[in-house]
Amino acid sequence: MQDLLESPIEFLKGVGPQRGELLRKELGIGTFRDLLLHFPFRYIDRSRFHTARDLAAQVEEHSQVQLRGRIGQWRMVGEKQGRRMTATFTDATGSVELVWFKGLKWLQQSLKTGEEYIVFGRPGSFKGKVNMPHPELELAATWDQGLDAALQPVYSTTEKLAAKGLTSRAIWKLLKALLPQTSGLIPETLGQEHVQWLGGISREEAFRQVHAPLDAQQLELARRRLKFEELFFIQLALLKQKQLTQQSVRGHVFARVGERLNQFYAEQLPFELTGAQKRVVKEIRKDMADGRQMNRLLQGDVGSGKTLVGLLSMLIALDNGYQAALMAPTEILAQQHFATITRMLGDMPVVVRLLTGSTKQGERKSLLTALRMGEVHIIVGTHALLEDRVVFDRLGLVVIDEQHRFGVAQRARLWAKSEVPPHVLVMTATPIPRTLAMTIYGDLETSVIDELPPGRKPIRTVHRFDGARNAVFGFLEEEMEKGRQVYVVYPLIEESEKMDLKHVMDGFESLSRRFPLPRYAVGIVHGRMDHETKDYEMARFKKGETNVLVSTTVIEVGVDVPNASVMVIENAERFGLSQLHQLRGRVGRGAEQSYCILMTGDKLSQDARTRLATMVRTNDGFEIAEADLRLRGPGDLMGTQQSGIPQLRIADLVEDAELLASARQAAQRVLDEDPALQEPRHAPIARAMRERKDDVAWGRIS
């Protein structure tokens, strides 16, 4: 019986081989079941009519509306590209101009002047008059007979499909034909208690209601039930995965807190750890001591002191007789970590070495030998650490900074460098919204540093238009006179690299003119320079020999110059939110009041405005991450490539955050009470799990 749902889509009445092939190619709908799972992305309330008058009052307010009235004589107007067909549509309250640019021939033949029509579409305005481009049309007489649902689902489709008649409406028709046949074939997948909690709506009923809702309330229940189910099974899979890893992957046992850690703490650490740092170190220590491999994500806003937590963790590894590696995404950052760590350790007997792409041949050779012999305790590096010739004596811990730049596969290579897999600590400075973290890293432990070191003054952020540049320069001068340093950052993307580089150079020149030698010095770094020049320029800025550093985003992550107190971001509208936040995090690292100045031209899109306003409003990385998620959606946020975000069919990580938390709790409880899903009350869940072949790709670290 169940097989009906597995039938190839072309066997559905009204589909056939040609459309079947298209559905498969365009929408991935290969079976009856796939069609059922093709959920509407919104609904139109067709029980509600607007009038021409209320549209005229506030055109902008309306998305899609329907009107009932009569169509007047059509006419052709305009020339060439602007050529179009129009007709006046009149109801009891006024009139609206209907406009068409395409499909004119067919319209001219079929449009019935003087007849009563229902028109449906998105209103706009042109020269002060309300219009409606390309409305859906239906004769009122037909409409009155055929009104079978007030709430009409809208399905995503493609141009190719629509050309073959598979419009949203046609897809709906297919579903309405399919639904009655599926009676009794859509088994429950949730436990009784869950169903009850969700308002008692069965799975079968839920499918019926989303595709052909009786009313808004039933629809809401159905959608909620299906969203919960989707999120529940993702969480169950992730938690199950976590359960398995914990049972099967053995890890080094770091039981000792020894000499090096204690000595560092007592003699070298120049400040107290923050409460959050202490808590996180404790979590990590406990994790590395319990005999299982640690897979932990460390989240903390820029400047929260993650590097130090990484270092303390590495010292624990050392105290237990193991080596540790710290991997950074860029050369500049690796060098900086190396310098910081070396400085912090002072004259402690710890051997720290640096390995990057530009490490000289001879040095590399001796380094690799020392590493293999176990003479190097901590190695800091870039991707170069992943190469096969990098062999450890006893690798116990890998700390990965700024995780989002490393692919999953690359991390796997590090893991392979040791028979017993090393503990893994991933530090990310791009806070991930809670809902995303739960979904992507649901099988990982998470630590959060939610506190900044004391004495930091919140950075003041302002938005200035290019016209105010003189005033901005004046402000920079004041700050420099106080001895502070300034970053000026320009966007640089591949597609417009030449132009972008020119802007950086122009900026450099005009700043050099405005802040001339010998009183001032302006430096420049960008990705197109060779390593030596870049390092030289960075070092000069760090030492305070340059007052202004003009750069591209090469300084985005991790660079730490406490005396720099002003960050100017040029063409700020071209940056994403998290990037802006990262850049801003380069200042505010010392005790001085710091500033971030977002420069833009006058023309800004709505999204850009929202981004800038968010930056001005808050310094909180988590809040910014949430806003970013809302603006861009989860795929973009993480970079679609290896994001590890499961494709969601109906749930939405932004809107359904609470439901997600409930789903995770429910999944956790099921596993706690019945780890193998053997109890009869969980039978539907167990069956559904077995049947999920499926599309869940969870982001795994290492």
Q: Does 621 bind Mg ion (CB under 5 A)?
A: no
In the complex with ligand ADP, the residue whose CB is nearer, 95 or 307, is 307
502-561 binders of ligand ADP (CB under 6 A): 560
When CB distances to ligand ADP are compared, the closest residue is 305
Stretch touching ligand ADP by CB under 6 A, among 105-113, 253-261, 282-290, 299-307:
299-307
Strands 136-139 and 116-121: antiparallel
Is the separation of the CB atoms in 89 and 49 below 8 Å?
A: no
Q: Does 303 bind ligand ADP (CB under 6 A)?
A: yes
Q: If you compute the radius of gyration of the chain from its CA atoms, what whole number of angstroms results?
A: 31
In the complex with ligand ADP, the residue whose CB is nearer, 431 or 442, is 431
Report the nearest approach of Mg ion to the CB of residue 335 (Å). 13
With CB cut-offs between 5 and 8 Å by kind, which of Mg ion, ligand ADP, none does residue 588 bind? Answer: none
Stretch touching ligand ADP by CB under 6 A, among 11-19, 303-311, 412-420, 496-504:
303-311
In the complex with Mg ion, the residue whose CB is nearer, 558 or 684, is 558
Stretch touching ligand ADP by CB under 6 A, among 46-54, 267-275, 367-375, 485-493:
267-275
Is the separation of the CB atoms in 631 and 577 below 8 Å?
A: yes
Q: How far apart are CA 486 and CA 548, in angstroms?
A: 5
Give the N- to C-terminal CA distance of the chain in Å, as an integer.
Answer: 43
Stretch touching ligand ADP by CB under 6 A, among 6-14, 44-52, 83-91, 296-304:
296-304
Token duo for residue 474: 């004046």
Report the nearest approach of ligand ADP to the CB of residue 269 (Å). 8
With CB cut-offs between 5 and 8 Å by kind, which of Mg ion, ligand ADP, none does residue 529 bind? Answer: none
Strands 352-355 and 378-381: parallel
In the complex with ligand ADP, the residue whose CB is nearer, 162 or 344, is 344
Report the nearest approach of ligand ADP to the CB of residue 304 (Å). 4
Q: Does 329 bind ligand ADP (CB under 6 A)?
A: no
Q: Does 300 bind ligand ADP (CB under 6 A)?
A: yes
Is the separation of the CB atoms in 118 and 96 below 8 Å?
A: no
432-491 binders of ligand ADP (CB under 6 A): 453
Tell me, what amino acid is at 345? L
In the complex with Mg ion, the residue whose CB is nearer, 379 or 667, is 379
Is the separation of the CB atoms in 341 and 320 below 8 Å?
A: no
Q: Does 123 bind ligand ADP (CB under 6 A)?
A: no
Q: Does 588 bind ligand ADP (CB under 6 A)?
A: no
With CB cut-offs between 5 and 8 Å by kind, which of ligand ADP, Mg ion, none does residue 589 bind? Answer: ligand ADP
Report the nearest approach of Mg ion to the CB of residue 644 (Å). 22
Please report the DSSP string for 311-360 in residue order: HHHHHHHHHTT-EEEEE-SSHHHHHHHHHHHHHHHTTSS--EEEE-TTS-
In the complex with Mg ion, the residue whose CB is nearer, 558 or 621, is 558
Please report the DSSP string for 190-241 in residue order: S-HHHHHHTTS--HHHHHHHHHS-SSHHHHHHHHHHHHHHHHHHHHHHHHHH
Please report the DSSP string for 62-129 in residue order: -SSEEEEEEE---EEES-GGG-EEEEEEEETTEEEEEEESS-HHHHHHH--TT-EEEEEE--EEETTE
Q: Does 307 bind ligand ADP (CB under 6 A)?
A: yes
Please report the DSSP string for 409-460 in residue order: HHHHHHHTTSSSPPEEEEEESS---HHHHHHHSTTSEEEEE--PPTTPPPPE
Interface with ligand ADP: number of residues (CB under 6 A):
17
Among 189, 295, 304, 323, binds ligand ADP (CB under 6 A): 304
CA 148-648-149 angle, to 5 degrees, is 5
In the complex with ligand ADP, the residue whose CB is nearer, 424 or 472, is 424
With CB cut-offs between 5 and 8 Å by kind, which of Mg ion, ligand ADP, none does residue 308 bind? Answer: ligand ADP
Q: Does 191 bind Mg ion (CB under 5 A)?
A: no
Stretch touching ligand ADP by CB under 6 A, among 134-142, 187-195, 268-276, 515-523:
268-276
In the complex with ligand ADP, the residue whose CB is nearer, 157 or 582, is 582
Q: Does 306 bind ligand ADP (CB under 6 A)?
A: yes
Q: Of 455, 438, 523, nearest to 487 (Cα)?
A: 523
541-600 binders of Mg ion (CB under 5 A): 558
Q: How far apart are CA 340 and CA 269, in angstroms?
A: 12
Q: How far apart are CA 26 and CA 31, in angstroms?
A: 13
Q: Does 302 bind ligand ADP (CB under 6 A)?
A: yes
In the complex with ligand ADP, the residue whose CB is nearer, 336 or 547, is 336
Report the nearest approach of ligand ADP to the CB of residue 275 (Å). 9
Token duo for residue 572: 């700020």
Strands 395-401 and 423-428: parallel
Q: Does 300 bind Mg ion (CB under 5 A)?
A: no
Tell me, what amino acid is at 399? V
Distances (CA, A) of 512 to 506, 522, 542: 10, 6, 19
Token duo for residue 377: 């305790």
Chain residues in the site for ligand ADP (CB under 6 A): 271-274, 277, 300, 302-308, 429, 453, 560, 589
Chain residues in the site for Mg ion (CB under 5 A): 558
